[in-house]
Structure 1
Amino acid sequence: MSTHINAADRKDIARSILLPGDPLRAKFIAENFLENPKCYNEIRGMLGYTGTYKGVPVSVQGTGMGMPSMGIYSWELITEYGVENLIRIGTAGSFHEDIKVKDIVIGMAASTDSNYIHAFDVPGTYAPCASYELLSKVSASSTELGIPFKAGNIVSCDVFYELKEDWWKRWASMGIMAVEMEAAALYMNAAYNDVNAIAIMTISDHFVTGEKATARERETSFTDMMKLALEAAIR
């Protein structure tokens, strides 16, 4: 079995899973949203839990930061534990004035500056995209909960501390909504293994205005994102 996840059996992890980068956020979700959560993973501090949400089994697993880390955890969850629906929940930085701090964005597609695609030996340029099935479920959940979101193209970048201050403007000129660091790898792994994946992010930073979410705003906005993801996971 997996060398990074120590769940004893495939049945210990649900078919649908939420993937926050921060393992402590996985703990928060388990303790505040799941019924009878059980911790199945503590390796490298990447906490993983399985419980039920409205009677349906759901898991939540921390993945760490960046595409290599997301690539490892999502691949093992899919191939070793049979996970079929993977929902990333995290943060992103907005590239446009009308996409504001606290807004929820969904990556219909995930452009990238990464070379992650080389692992799949694709003879050309590949466009990682979200599962339409999960996107439809998130949309239905959004309507029911009254939690709006914006959907479009995002970019998954390998570097957090870019040296050129205006690097993001070239992505923005192509309609890229926001930047994060994991979705492209998740979408590639899901596509190759024929499972569903989607990335839901809350805007925490704004490249145009310089605004950043406060601790209180992050708490409230993240909770909305969690509810949206959980409702989609059980549909």
Structure 2
Amino acid sequence: MTRDSEDPNADVQYHLGIDSADVADTVLLPGNPERLETIIDFWDDHELRARHREYRTATGSYEGTPISVTSTGIGSPSAAIAVEELARVGVDTFIRVGSCGAIQPEMDIGDLVITTGAVRQEGTSDEYVREDYPATADHEVVSALIAAAERLGYDYHTGVTMSADSFYAGQGRPGVDGFEAAGADDLVDELKAANVKNIEMEASAILTLANLYGLRAGAVCTVYANRETGTFRTDGESRAAETATLATHLLAKMDAVKREAGVDRWHAGLSLE
């Protein structure tokens, strides 16, 4: 029996410090709290609603569509806490907005990667469900992100992401004094051969939890590094933020079209205009 003082279902969520009045139905999830400033610059208005630890939450609107953002910090454990507590106050759609390392040679710095599914090489989602359960992105969110990237004219790639628990050893990078984890030499080559597009640290947990709870989720990341070519630059951070913001507006339009058509899911036969 959970004691009241430990109840995670209180109206104001323990880690995020928010309740149902603080957030919109769709929440963007950057890792870096400082990325909030990049995201809300694209909105028509905003208000900071909460700040606690790595979690910062703001809510506003874009083209008449309510929208929120909550930073999650680095890694799947803190991202899962954010999804849990946001879901508890009624959020039904999540879009991870981040940066990543690309592992296919044709991917350039500044390109976008729109995740369709993820390799669960993080331990958080294993705490929820068997390891062979797929981490898949919602097709409406993927469609909205693609449509947004197309409208904005940004170069993008779609495909499978790998989510790791470690920035160094877990992604095949050397540790202190050249330490290498078992299998590190082959990791990137194996992922590349499997047509995995990129590596980051949160998407698979976010997608897994959203699927378990019957919610929508997706991810869009800007390429900062290409592990195949050895290049690294922090260019194009705002592209993922702008794409996710526009995608939120398009999702709202999708939902309106669904209501008018009397269907549960948006599909390619329905217009967004």
Question: What TM-score do the two structures reach when normalised by structure 1?
Answer: 0.91
| Aligned counterpart, 1:58 | 67
Could you tell me the percent identity over the aligned residues? 29
Contact 2:16 2:56 in 1 (8 A): no
- Measured in 2, the distance between the counterparts of 1:28 and 1:198 equals 19
**What residue identity is the alignment partner of 1:145?**
L
- Measured in 2, the distance between the counterparts of 1:117 and 1:6 equals 23
Determine whether 1:117 maps to 2:125: yes
- Measured in 1, the distance between the counterparts of 2:192 and 2:145 equals 25
| Aligned counterpart, 2:91 | 83
Q: 1:185 aligns with which of 171, 193, 205?
A: 205
CA apart distance, 1:166: 4.3
Q: In structure 2, the residue corresponding to 1:4 is in which secondary structure?
A: coil
| Aligned counterpart, 1:4 | 15
Q: In structure 2, the residue corresponding to 1:23 is in which secondary structure?
A: coil
CA apart distance, 1:45: 4.1
Following superposition of structure 1 onto structure 2, how do residues 1-235 of structure 1 map, counting pairs within 5 Å?
Answer: 1=10, 2-7=13-18, 9-30=19-40, 32-78=41-87, 80-122=88-130, 125-162=132-169, 163=180, 164-214=184-234, 218=235, 221-235=236-250
| Cα distance change on mapping 1:25 and 1:171 into 2, 3 Å | same
Query: Which has the larger Rg?
Result: 2
Contact 2:125 2:209 in 1 (8 A): no
**What residue identity is the alignment partner of 1:36?**
D
Contact 2:16 2:52 in 1 (8 A): yes
**What residue identity is the alignment partner of 1:85?**
T
Q: In structure 1, the residue corresponding to 2:135 is in which secondary structure?
A: coil
Deviations 1:84-117 (A, max 9, x none): 1111010111111111211100110100222333
Moved more, 174-183 or 205-214: 205-214
Contact 1:27 1:47 in 2 (8 A): no
Q: In structure 2, the residue corresponding to 1:41 is in which secondary structure?
A: strand
Unmatched segments (≥5 aa) in structure 2: 1-9, 170-179, 251-273
- Measured in 1, the distance between the counterparts of 2:110 and 2:198 equals 13
- Measured in 2, the distance between the counterparts of 1:61 and 1:44 equals 12
CA apart distance, 1:28: 3.2
Contact 2:123 2:165 in 1 (8 A): no
Contact 1:91 1:204 in 2 (8 A): yes
**What residue identity is the alignment partner of 2:154?**
I
Contact 1:117 1:126 in 2 (8 A): no
- Measured in 2, the distance between the counterparts of 1:53 and 1:3 equals 28
Unmatched segments (≥5 aa) in structure 1: none
